[in-house]
Structures are given as structure tokens and as C-alpha cells.
Structure 1
């Protein structure tokens, strides 16, 4: 079968009309990582009646225990669908073993380091090839952490990222028991007994998560842990990042609290950066939660338009009236 890309083998596995939206699903085989079985599903959303009139390209990265449906539901609801209806060229990848992306041979050993080093650069290169523009990136939770890792390690830079928006993204919340080496070792030992952790079983989400990602998080939070891998200190690397940045926290988020998200924001060295906390104290109708910050009726009314405004002009403050909005020009 002829490839849909000149970069590496890509197959168009589905092309459907979903109401007023077009949904094209591609399967990428980048072949750029030690595990040659890795395949990544990337869905392109657009307006069905104007397929050749694509707007600003944006890549949406889902979080842990999740898939493309976080960004758009079968009924055509979600930030991804909203942006497509606003005329954006929307791309929704699914990480290894999630959604339409098949489980690779070394699925249990998948790590954020692999996503950041191999998968995001391949996805970004494919989107640049197809859209003929440098895409904007939006990540939520683990998707945002992966994007931050790729930026901090220089796997992605300004040539591949027009702007980056991190929702619910932090690596500074301390789990004190993990600072006790035997506790961390026991956690690693236990996770190594399993290939994955079930999202549905533990009511974390619709997808499983490979054990390697969770073991990696244990290491970050260990006694001498750091946000990085054996080759690079991603945390230090964030200070050298120079792409427009938007960091968004939620006042009611207990998983990734505001103070921790703010700490990561302050570590990033971008000249143009903005910080926004979604809460009553900042002029919103309520204190948003970790998921509700992007998936809720309130988010549809208050957050999605801000996301669209950011993508159209990342260099202009979203709203000077919000006291918790920090910007550096």
C-alpha cells in the first residue's frame, strides 16, 4: 500500500464524515525507536464541507488512562471538535497502546522518555508535512508532562512548536513516602510484576497505562529523583525553552495543584509566557477540577474560547482583567 507520507510508512486507515466534521485516521510507523513495532494512530479533524481550507494546525495530547475521546466524543463534543468548527486543523495522536494505537512489543516498558524522544518528534514532523506549517501543541496532564519533557530535552524546539499550552502539568508535588528508598523499591518491584495498570478497574479512565510509565514516575519522586532520564535533566532544560508558553491550572485540582503547576511554569525560560488558574478567585464561575478544566459545560463556555484565542495569538495576554494571569513580554 502506498504511504501517505514521504517521511516514513503512513497508512490512512479510516476516512469518515461525523456530522459536520471530517475524521481521517492515520497509522504512523516511524521506525525511529529501538522497538520497531511501535505504531501511532493520529486523527485529523476538520470541517467536512471545507476539507481543503484548513486553518492553524494544533496537536492535542491526551493524559494518562485516556485516548482521543478526551478531546472529542463520538457525538462530536470536546475541545478538539470545537477547534475544528472554529476552522483549526486539529490533530489528535494516541500514545502507544492507547485507543487506535496498537500495543507495541515492549508495551510494558513504555516510558514518557520514549514518547518525548521518539513519538512526539515523529508526530510533529508528520503534521508539519501534511499541514505545511509549524503546529501549536496542547497537552493535558501526562500529555502535557510529555510535551514539557520533549521541550526540556530539546527533542522539540521552536522549529517544531509554534506554541505550547500545558493544562494540569506539574512534577513538583511531593509524595513523601517515596523519599524512603525501601518504599520506592517496593513500588517498582510490585509494578514490574504487571504489564499495565487497568484504568477501568481502578476508575482512572477508559485505558490501561503501561507499567513503565508509572515506574518512571516513581523514580522522579524518589529520594534522589529528578525530572529527566539518563541522558538529560529535563527540568534544567526547561530554562532554555524559547517557545510561547501557556500554563493552565485548576483551583480545584487536587492531583496537580495550582502551586505545583505554577512552579513548572516559572522554570520555563520562554520570553512570551502566560499563566492562568481556573477558579472563582480568578473570575471564573467555579473552581475547576483536573478533568473539568477541559471536559465540562463550564469549560466549553469559559475555557475553550480562551484556548482558541491563545492559538490565534499566543503573544497577546488572554485577559488583562484576570488577576491570576501572569505574562512576560
Structure 2
């Protein structure tokens, strides 16, 4: 089959019409990481009556235990379709072994470091090739952390990212038991006996997570841990990032609290950066939870329009109160 790209092998897996939307699913095989079996699914959404005209590209990154359905339901609902109907060229990525992306040979050992160093740059290169524009990026939870790692590690820069929006993403919350070496070692030994963390078993979502991601998180939060890997200090690297940045925290998010999301924002060197605190005290309909900030009826009417405004203007509109 002829590749859809001149960069590396890409197969157009399907091309469908979903109501008013066109849905093209690509499978990328970048061959840029030590595990050459890695393949990444990328879903492109647009209005099928646009006569071939595509808007500004936006890449959406799901969080842990999730897949493309976080952004795009089978009924054509979600932030992905909303952005497509607003005229954006929407690309929904699925990480290794999630959704339509098959599990690679070394799936058990996958880490955020691999996603940031190899996968996101490949996705950026393909989207730029197809759209001839620099894409915006939006990540939720682990998707936002991965995006921050790619920016802090300088695997993505201004040539690959027109802006970045991080929803419920942080690395600063302290888990004190993990600061005690015996407990950290015990946790590491326990996790190493597993191949995956089951999303269904833990009631966290439809997908599993490779144990490599869990071990990596343990290292970040250990006594001498840092947000980075053996190749570099991503936290320190964020101070050199100049990409426009939006960070969003929610008053009802107890997993990734707003103060920690703001701390990640403040580490960026970007001259243009904004923090959005979703909650009743700031004039919103509810204290949104970790998922509800993007997946709820209130979010559809309150949050989604703000995302569109950010992508169009690289700033938020004036709000009565914004913390």
C-alpha cells in the first residue's frame, strides 16, 4: 500500500462520513524509537462539506486509561467534533497500545519519556506535512504531562507547537509515603511483578496502562525525584519554553488540584501564558471534577467556547472573576 506520507510509512486505515463530519484514521509507523514495532493511530476530523479546505490544526492528547473516545464519542459528540464544527482541523492521537494504536513489542516498558521523545515529534511532523501549518496542542491529565515533557525536553518547539493547553495536568503534588525509600522500593518491587495496570480493574477507564509509566511516576515522586529522565531535566527545561500556554485547573479536581496545575504553568518561560480556574467562586456553574472539566453539559456551554477563543486569539476572554 502506498504511504500517505513522505516522512515514514503511513496507512490510511479508514475514511468515513459521520453525519456532518469526515473521519480519516491513519496509522503511523515512524521507526524513530528503539522499538521499531511502534505504530500510532491518528484520527482526523473535519466538516465533509468544507470542499477540501482545512482550518488551523489542533492535536488532542488523551489522559491515562483513555483513548480517542474521550474527545470524540461514537455519536459525534465531544470537544473534538465541537472544534471541527468551529472550523478547526482536528487530529486525535492515541498513545501506544491505546484505542486503535496496537501494542508494541516492548509495551510493558513504555514511558512518558518515549511518548515525548519519539511519538509526539512524529505526530507533529505528519500533521505539519498534511496541513502545512504549525499545530496547536491540547492535553488532558497525562496527555498534558506528556506535552509538558516534550516541550521541557525540547523535543517540541515553536516550529512544532503554535500553543499548548494543559487541562488537569501537574507534577507537583507531593505523595509523602513515596518520599520514604523503603515504601518506594516496596512499591517498585510490587509493580515490577505486573505487566499492566488495568483500567477496568481499577475503575479508572477503558484502557490499560503499561507498568513502565507507573514506575516512571514513582521515580518522579521519590525522595530525590525530578520531572525528567536520564537524558535531561524537563522541569528545568520548561523555563526556556516560549510557546504560548494555557493551563486549566478545577476546584473539584482532587487528583490534580488547581494549585499544582498553576505551579506547572508558572515554570514555563512563555511570555504569553494564562491560568483558568474552573469553579463556582470564579463564576462557573460548578466545581468541575478532573473529567467533568471537559466531559459534562456544563463544560460544553462554559469551557468549550473558551477553548475556541484561546485557539483563535491565544488569550482568554474577559471573565467576571478569573483566579
Report the TM-score when normalising by structure 1.
0.97
Deviations 1:287-307 (A, max 9, x none): 000000000001000000000
Give 1:264's aligned residue: 264
Corresponding residue for residue 213 of structure 1: 213
Aligned residues: 323
CA distance in 2, matches of 1:24, 1:12: 7
**1:123-134 aligned within 5 A:** 123-134=123-134
**Secondary structure of 1:239's aligned partner:** helix
Q: Confirm or deny that 1:70 pairs with 2:70.
A: yes
Structure 1: 5+ residue runs without aligned partners?
A: 325-329
Which residue matches 1:234? 234
- What is the SS of the residue equivalent to 1:69? helix
Q: How far apart are 1:185 and its partner, in Å? A: 1.1
Instruction: Give 3-state SS (helix, strand or coil) of 2:284's partner.
Output: coil
* 1:14 alignment partner, SS class: strand
1:51 CA displacement: 4.7
- Alignment of 1:245 with 2:245, yes or no, is yes
Pair 1:323 & 2:286 matched: no
Displacement of 1:320: 4.7
Distance 1:11 1:99 in 2: 16
Is 1:48 matched up with 2:22? no
Q: Tell me by how many angstroms 1:319 deviates.
A: 2.0
Partner of 2:310: 310
Aligned equivalents of 1:25 and 1:235: distance in 2?
Answer: 34
Take 2:19 and 2:236, find their aligned partners in 1: how far apart are those partners?
46
Deviation of residue 321 (structure 1)?
3.1
Q: Gaps spanning 5+ residues in structure 2: where?
A: none
Q: Tell me, in whole angstroms, the C-alpha distance in 2 between the residues paired with 1:191 and 1:236.
A: 28
Cα distance in 2 for residues equivalent to 1:231 and 1:220: 14
Deviations 1:235-292 (A, max 9, x none): 0111110010000001100000011111111111100001000001111011000000
2:143 equivalent in structure 1: 143
1:318 Cα deviation (Å)? 2.7
Summarize deviations over 1:40-86 as a string: whole Å, max 9, x none: 00000001222511111000000000000000100011000100111
Partners of 2:227 and 2:10 in 1: CA distance: 32
Spell out structure 1 runs of 4+ moving beyond 3 A.
none
How much does 1:9 deviate?
0.1
User: Equivalents in 2 of 1:100, 1:211: separation in Å?
Assistant: 20
Correspondence list, 1:125-204, <5 A: 125-204=125-204
CA distance in 2, matches of 1:188, 1:51: 53
1:116, CA displacement in angstroms?
0.2
Q: Look up the match of 1:327.
A: none
Are residue 118 (structure 1) and residue 118 (structure 2) matched?
Answer: yes
Q: Partners in 2 of 1:193 and 1:13 — Cα distance?
A: 36
Q: Whole-Å Cα distance in 2 between the matches of residues 322 and 31 of structure 1?
A: 48
Alpha-carbon distance in 1 for matches of 2:238, 2:321: 26
Partner of 1:18: 18
Q: Contact 2:309 / 2:316 at 8 angstroms: preserved in 1?
A: no
Aligned residue for 1:298, secondary structure, equals helix
2:39 corresponds in structure 1 to 39
Does the residue aligned with 2:265 lie in a helix, a strand or coil?
helix
